Structure 1
Amino acid sequence: MKKSVIGIGNALVDILTKINDDNILKELNLPKGSMQLVDREMSDRIGESLESFESSMAPGGSSANTIHGLAKLGVPTGFICYTGNDKVGAFFEDAMMSVGVKPVVFHSDTPSGTSRAIVSADAERTFATYLGAAVELTDSHLNLEQFKGWDYCYIEGYLIANTSLFVKAVKLAKEAGCKVVLDLASYNVVESNRELLLQMLPEIDIVFANEEEAKSLTMKSPEESLELLSQYVDIAVVKIGKRGSLIKRGDEMVHIDCHKVSVVDTTGAGDMYAAGFLAGLINGMSLKECGELGSILAENIIQVIGAKMDESRWNNIKALYPQI
């Protein structure tokens, strides 16, 4: 039976809206090209201002993107999260279930979290994220049964900001016999929680970090970070942008090159890399093949707007890897 992955993280719905006049951004006091968190009132105001424009929705959130990608590659998956008791939350659940994810969803009267990407005529994106119900998940919602029967537990780095939730998720996952996979997600989160992360590293089995995140944690170069991280975890992955990625397991170290592609939107690149890498690992591929599959997914996602690919891209990827 194929190994399985349970994810835990923020359930967000990505709402992509194309606008033809940047004055809307000025009216909303959203600096063009910026990324910022907004409150409920501002989120509602943005929604009302963009009502007349065509929008598309997709399930989002860092860990959710990875779990969705794994499901598309045939890996049995589940996802623990919190949504609002509303249409946006129902959309998130339905979209995840439609690709085979088994969601464990808690509901709140708070509206569901959304990440709005407002695309200007020149293709520049302005982000406004309302976390909403997504951040209401606490350690009290977790129990051992939720983790039993899964082989891997995938945790997004944004959860680290909620110390008790992060620590309990790792503890229960290990108790249930899961290998714990952590994506560091953001150098800001790493900087703010460095001591906790260093303390928890021995409990982590696989860690993904980009160059900035690795440096924030170890204060070292990518190569030195890889060496240090691999002393604590089974598999360490440090992504180094256009230079590809570095992977180390025990004494084995590989460098994966990446191909030059036309970059449209980098949203979800790290999430998709993790999905490809883990799918490869679950299917018994070598470290090099795992890294290559991760890179192929990342290279494809950055060629489209948003963190979801169309079926033709998925089919092309699966054709390259018939063993999946």
Structure 2
Amino acid sequence: MHEIDVVGIGNAIVDVLSHADDAFLDKHGLTKGGMMLIDDDQARSLYAAMGPGVEISGGSAANTMAGIAALGARAAFIGKVRDDQLGEVFAHDIRSIGVSFMTPPALEGASTGRCLILVTPDAQRTMNTFLGAGVGLTPEDINPDVIQAAQVTYLEGYLWDPENAKNAFRKAVEAAHAGGRKVALSLSDSFCVDRHRDEFRELVEQVDILFANEAEILSLYQVDQFDAALQAVRRANTLAALTRSEKGSVILQGDEVHVIDAEAGVTLVDTTGAGDLYAAGFLAGYTTGRTLPECGRMGSIAAAEAISHMGARPQADLKALVAAKLG
């Protein structure tokens, strides 16, 4: 295998983004800013009620790999689609932006997953996700050669639900560490933390890099204050990059603490993918030898670009933005 900077493992999903108001959310019983899992029937019903939308390949880890590729690093993605139209769209799209994608499609079972994202005027995104074929990922889809070719294997917390997917994650962690490589984990959403708190705490002890936002890390350790969460994650002895929206981020490794400011002068349009792109910037810096403060700054730059427009995929030249701000 050729050297890879980061390989991401997660749900392969096609995102559908549309504007909506609070009344629409209330009418359909949706919690603003949250993520809800829906079934095929709910996905069809909500899609029919939504206004005009933008459709693009997505999924949290896939968005992160797209950002890494946009920053000039080498990215690969492992995720399951079905042999249907959306599966073909996903595969073509992610490969077209320079991300290696070799997972064979499922030949039976659920259709390719999709996420219906409603963006309200305050730029909050409310996600309604039909996971579809994505949850069909199995250990057989994890190629140890690919894992060991990557400096970092990045795991998406959203996928920590089906037993086969958990076993796929465990196989990837084992292969990465056997090859002397690093493993990163994104907690993904407070919804995921609430469902899998005990298992996530165990998993955090096994990974080398942890990504979480403030709500997720507070939920993980069941504390009310961010400083208390910092102390708890410090005891886990992992490198943690914790985002705090307009407050920026905090990077913690042992006794080393770096506070990174959020980028100034950004017009907030849509928060979809902010955390995904923060992780992309951070990991692109990390795998190319940047210092931890520089990694955090790259994460902030990438996240700021993501929230300045609809959708999670970069629209500006991220490499140029980083070069202009960091050199």
TM-score range, shorter chain: 0.7 to 0.9
- 94-103 or 30-39, which moves further after superposition? 30-39
Corresponding position: 1:287 with 2:292:
yes
SS at match of 2:148: coil
SS at match of 1:230: helix
2:85 to 84, 87, 99: 87
**What's the counterpart of residue 212 of structure 1?**
215
Residue identity opposite 1:187 in structure 2: S
Aligned-residue Cα RMSD (Å) equals 2.9
Higher relative contact order (CA 8 A, sep 6+): 2
**What's the counterpart of residue 65 of structure 1?**
63
Could you tell me how far apart the structure 1 residues matched to 2:25 and 2:212 are? 36
Check 1:72–1:173 CA distance in 2 against 1; reply closer, same or farther (3 A cut).
same
**What's the counterpart of residue 113 of structure 2?**
113
Are the aligned partners of 2:3 and 2:149 in contact in 1 as well (CA < 8 Å)?
Answer: no
- 166-175 or 124-133, which moves further after superposition? 124-133
Are the aligned partners of 2:35 and 2:189 in contact in 1 as well (CA < 8 Å)?
Answer: no
Corresponding position: 1:183 with 2:200:
no
- 112-121 or 4-13, which moves further after superposition? 112-121
- 160-169 or 202-211, which moves further after superposition? 160-169
Could you tell me how far apart the structure 2 residues matched to 1:24 and 1:210 are? 24
Calculate the TM-score normalised by the size of structure 2. 0.85
**What's the counterpart of residue 14 of structure 1?**
15
- Residue 18 of structure 1, CA deviation: 5.3
Check 1:40–1:270 CA distance in 2 against 1; reply closer, same or farther (3 A cut).
same
Could you tell me how far apart the structure 2 residues matched to 1:245 and 1:38 are? 31
Calculate the TM-score normalised by the size of structure 1. 0.86
Residue identity opposite 1:263 in structure 2: L
- Of all paired residues, the percent bearing the same amino acid is 35
Deviation digits for residues 64-98 of structure 1, max 9, x if unmatched? 11111001111111111100111211111111111
**What's the counterpart of residue 76 of structure 1?**
74
Aligned counterparts, 1:28-43, within 5 A: 29=28, 31=30, 36-43=36-43
Could you tell me how far apart the structure 2 residues matched to 1:240 and 1:3 are? 29
Residue identity opposite 1:235 in structure 2: L
Could you tell me how far apart the structure 1 residues matched to 2:30 and 2:78 are? 34
Are the aligned partners of 2:119 and 2:270 in contact in 1 as well (CA < 8 Å)?
Answer: no
- Residue 295 of structure 1, CA deviation: 0.9
Could you tell me how far apart the structure 1 residues matched to 2:124 and 2:297 are? 29
Could you tell me how far apart the structure 1 residues matched to 2:95 and 2:161 are? 28
Could you tell me how far apart the structure 2 residues matched to 1:226 and 1:124 are? 26
Residue identity opposite 2:131 in structure 1: L
**What's the counterpart of residue 275 of structure 2?**
270
Check 1:225–1:126 CA distance in 2 against 1; reply closer, same or farther (3 A cut).
closer
Check 1:99–1:24 CA distance in 2 against 1; reply closer, same or farther (3 A cut).
same
SS at match of 2:301: helix
2:233 to 229, 232, 251: 229
- Residue 119 of structure 1, CA deviation: 5.4
Corresponding position: 1:202 with 2:202:
no
**What's the counterpart of residue 6 of structure 2?**
5
Check 1:121–1:147 CA distance in 2 against 1; reply closer, same or farther (3 A cut).
closer
**What's the counterpart of residue 259 of structure 1?**
263
Are the aligned partners of 2:123 and 2:270 in contact in 1 as well (CA < 8 Å)?
Answer: no
**What's the counterpart of residue 170 of structure 2?**
167
Could you tell me how far apart the structure 2 residues matched to 1:118 and 1:176 are? 41
- 166-175 or 127-136, which moves further after superposition? 166-175
**What's the counterpart of residue 245 of structure 1?**
249
Are the aligned partners of 2:10 and 2:59 in contact in 1 as well (CA < 8 Å)?
Answer: yes
SS at match of 1:113: strand
Check 1:257–1:169 CA distance in 2 against 1; reply closer, same or farther (3 A cut).
same
**What's the counterpart of residue 318 of structure 2?**
314
Residue identity opposite 1:293 in structure 2: M
- Residue 284 of structure 1, CA deviation: 1.8
Could you tell me how far apart the structure 2 residues matched to 1:122 and 1:253 are? 32
- Residue 126 of structure 1, CA deviation: 5.5
SS at match of 2:149: coil
Deviation digits for residues 189-247 of structure 1, max 9, x if unmatched? 22332222222333211111111211122234323323332343441122223221111
Give ranges in structure 1 of 5+ residues lacking alignment.
none
- Residue 57 of structure 1, CA deviation: 1.9
Residue identity opposite 2:215 in structure 1: E
Are the aligned partners of 1:9 and 1:80 in contact in 2 as well (CA < 8 Å)?
Answer: yes
Give ranges in structure 2 of 5+ residues lacking alignment.
none
What number of residue pairs does the alignment pair up? 317
Check 1:18–1:226 CA distance in 2 against 1; reply closer, same or farther (3 A cut).
closer
- 178-187 or 225-234, which moves further after superposition? 225-234
**What's the counterpart of residue 303 of structure 2?**
298
SS at match of 2:103: strand
Are the aligned partners of 1:144 and 1:175 in contact in 2 as well (CA < 8 Å)?
Answer: no
